[in-house]
Structure 1
Amino acid sequence: MGRHLHFDCFSGVSGDMVLGALVDAGLPLANLVRELKRLKLAGYRLEQQQVHRGALHATKINVVIRQGFDRPLTLARIHRVLAASTLPAAVKEQSRAVFDRLAEAEGLAHRVAKKDVHFHEVGVIDSFIDVVGGVLGCHLLGVTQVTSSPVNVGAGTIRTAHGLLPVPGPAVAALAKGIPIYSDGPRCELATPTGMALLRTLASSFRPMPVLESAQVGYGAGDADPEGWPNVLRVFLADEQAAVIRPTDVVVQIETNLDDLTPQAYEHVMDQLFSVGALDVTLTPVIMKRSRPGVVVSCLAAPEKLDAVLEVLFLETTALGVRLQELARQVLARRFVAVKVPGGTVRMKVAAIGAGWEKAAPEYVDCKKIAGLTGRPLKDVMDDARLAYAQLTTRKGRVRS
């Protein structure tokens, strides 16, 4: 039976906060130190410290450097260090994915190619240990599902090696694409690139805290200690139920019949509906009154997205009215696992069916991007991703995809 880890990022997230929170939630530091030796890096040691951040007690993990790297790290060199280690395959793969995301974000921020990024700010040993230690810590705790709250990124400005930057900085802003973020609290940086890259790699969804039973709670402290503000990352760690509990939520089904909209407009309408938060959009051909051919536009949306969906339907189509129905929906718990294929990285969407069964499917947009960049057939890229995931997984049973 696996374990569910939920990140509560009310004061942002950073690599050292992740390490501290995992240790505070029950990961023995001695076990982490022993397993990190498989990374084959020397010149550092880990120290555990109990601190106060605001009104909270928290664990601070410090990486004490005796000797660092001799020059800034390239992505290729990071990959070589990971490949030379004896870490579990899943830990190496996820750690590579974190650094790939960091390199892509830094490249976008500084307008350089991903392969040419030099990790000045994340390339020192402490950040290397933060990344690999965070991934490894989840592995040692038996975590099989990770979720996260929306992320507080902080406010104001920060001074970096590149000059004065707004919060969130360009790299954090790039990594936050698709992740719910907000600004609250003191005027300082609360979310770092390393922390955001870890979240993007580990978390399968970003939502309010799910229902957890008998959860252990851990608090990991950040370096900053703003007056009156609890600068910690809180995590909840709970055993997953032996029987899969499929979450149930409520969605609204919105339908309307159309027989006088030009067919060229449907693609645009669907794009607009998805952009405002529709969960699904389908078009069904029907025969309407007076034997006229028509189309039923059907949308699923969360109740809070209803007004936005209605605005698109009334603005972009000829609809004069819609039908609304609230529906209960059961969904499979899912997570994303990044795998490497020739030409890039593909996210595998993995859903738990129950009784040890899972099904996994490659993300279409990732495969399409790689196919476009490499000129390879899309189906071959998707097959490579399925094979890479099958080789990566070490759990019992088999994957249905």
Structure 2
Amino acid sequence: MSIIYFDCFSGISGDMIIGSLLDAGLPFVDLEHELSKLKLANFNIKHEFVIKKGIAATKFSVETDENHPHRSLGDIRKIIEESGLEEIVKESALKIFTRLAKAESRIHGVDPENIHFHEVGAVDAIIDIVGAVVGFHKMNISKVYASALNIGGGWTKCVHGTIPVPAPATLELLRGVPIYNSGVNMELVTPTGAAIITSLCEDFGYLPAITPKKIGYGAGTADLHIPNVLRVILGDTNNQEAKHNKHHNH
């Protein structure tokens, strides 16, 4: 069985997830082809190799000239449902956005349907979330695991002004997830990254028994005293466990 482990020693964000999957072998043309099925104008995706504290990594970015419109959950649902994406991809992407809307609604005291996504309603966030789901699907990943999340600290700026790290919606998404701050004074886990990983991850903690086949490093934007990369390990669960499960399932 194909599993993936996200080693989040420097946090996690949507673009870092996609960068790490590309670095681990997701063909960029496949990603581009699938994302073109979204009826979104004026966006361009690119990837480049960068070095972060001596580690070669893939940096994924979305270029858009859109000026952050405020989209509601309904608007995003429409964009996803009217796309030519496969049903399984649509379902997962909508699950992530719904989870995000619920977290935002608890913070702002507004009904999830009336939440207006600012940063996460923008084209780049939609691309990050749908792109991550496309990546998991294309790479035939059946289970997702992750380490405890290094969330960072300090303050970050958003539409509402200056807010503490982790941003309230991010923290809301991370209920029940092991988190820590290694002393980096910066937002390391973004709302998009938190929404994706908490929606799709089976379990957070130590690396499970895995035979690594592919390893990828997705670069973040910042330059820190630690490598600002997200590491992924793709592999198979060991056969004993697979045999045990097979036996168990019959």
TM-score (norm 2): 0.94
Gaps of 5+ in 2: none
Residues in 2 aligned to 1:130 and 1:195: alpha-carbon distance in whole angstroms: 9
Q: Check if 1:239 corresponds to 2:236.
A: yes
Give secondary structure in 1 for the equivalent of 2:235. Answer: strand
In the TM superposition, what is the alpha-carbon distance from 1:98 to its structure 2 partner?
Answer: 0.5
Q: Which has the higher contact order (CA 8 A, sep 6+)?
A: 2
Partner residue in 1 for 2:216: 218
Check conservation: 1:21, 1:235, Cα contact below 8 A.
Answer: yes
Number of equivalences: 250
Q: Encode CA deviations 1:125-151: one digit per residue, 9 max, x unaligned.
A: 111000000011010001001111110
Give secondary structure in 2 for the equivalent of 1:234. Answer: strand
Residues in 2 aligned to 1:164 and 1:71: alpha-carbon distance in whole angstroms: 20
Partner residue in 1 for 2:90: 92
Report the AA paired with residue 159 of structure 2.
A
Check conservation: 1:69, 1:125, Cα contact below 8 A.
Answer: no
Report the AA paired with residue 155 of structure 2.
T
Larger Rg: 1
In the TM superposition, what is the alpha-carbon distance from 1:69 to its structure 2 partner?
Answer: 7.2
Residues in 2 aligned to 1:69 and 1:33: alpha-carbon distance in whole angstroms: 22
Q: Check if 1:126 corresponds to 2:115.
A: no
Give secondary structure in 1 for the equivalent of 2:36. Answer: helix
Name the structure with the higher strand share.
1
In the TM superposition, what is the alpha-carbon distance from 1:212 to its structure 2 partner?
Answer: 1.4
Partner residue in 2 for 1:265: none
In the TM superposition, what is the alpha-carbon distance from 1:106 to its structure 2 partner?
Answer: 1.2
Report the AA paired with residue 229 of structure 1.
I
Summarize the Cα distance change of 1:85–1:149 in structure 2 as closer, same or farther, 3 Å threshold: same
Report the AA paired with residue 354 of structure 1.
K
Partner residue in 2 for 1:354: 246
Summarize the Cα distance change of 1:231–1:176 in structure 2 as closer, same or farther, 3 Å threshold: same
Check conservation: 2:68, 2:118, Cα contact below 8 A.
Answer: no
In the TM superposition, what is the alpha-carbon distance from 1:354 to its structure 2 partner?
Answer: 2.0
* 1:271-286 correspondence to structure 2 within 5 Å: none
Q: Percent identity?
A: 40
TM-score (norm 1): 0.59
Gaps of 5+ in 1: 248-331, 333-352, 359-399
Report the AA paired with residue 59 of structure 1.
T
Check conservation: 1:216, 1:238, Cα contact below 8 A.
Answer: yes
2:158 is matched with which residue: 160, 166, 186?
160
Summarize the Cα distance change of 1:81–1:49 in structure 2 as closer, same or farther, 3 Å threshold: same
Check conservation: 2:165, 2:187, Cα contact below 8 A.
Answer: yes
Partner residue in 2 for 1:276: none
| Farther off after superposition, 52-61 or 3-12 | 52-61
Q: Encode CA deviations 1:29-73: one digit per residue, 9 max, x unaligned.
A: 11110111222323111111111222322110111114x378311
Residues in 2 aligned to 1:157 and 1:246: alpha-carbon distance in whole angstroms: 45
Partner residue in 2 for 1:59: 58
Partner residue in 1 for 2:110: 112
Q: Encode CA deviations 1:238-276: one digit per residue, 9 max, x unaligned.
A: 1345x56169xxxxxxxxxxxxxxxxxxxxxxxxxxxxx
Give secondary structure in 1 for the equivalent of 2:222. Answer: coil
Residues in 2 aligned to 1:185 and 1:29: alpha-carbon distance in whole angstroms: 34
Check conservation: 1:16, 1:60, Cα contact below 8 A.
Answer: yes
Residues in 1 aligned to 2:212 and 2:111: alpha-carbon distance in whole angstroms: 46
Residues in 2 aligned to 1:94 and 1:122: alpha-carbon distance in whole angstroms: 16
Q: Check if 1:33 corresponds to 2:32.
A: yes
Residues in 2 aligned to 1:40 and 1:69: alpha-carbon distance in whole angstroms: 17
Partner residue in 2 for 1:372: none
Partner residue in 1 for 2:203: 205
Partner residue in 2 for 1:50: 49
Give secondary structure in 2 for the equivalent of 1:63. Answer: strand
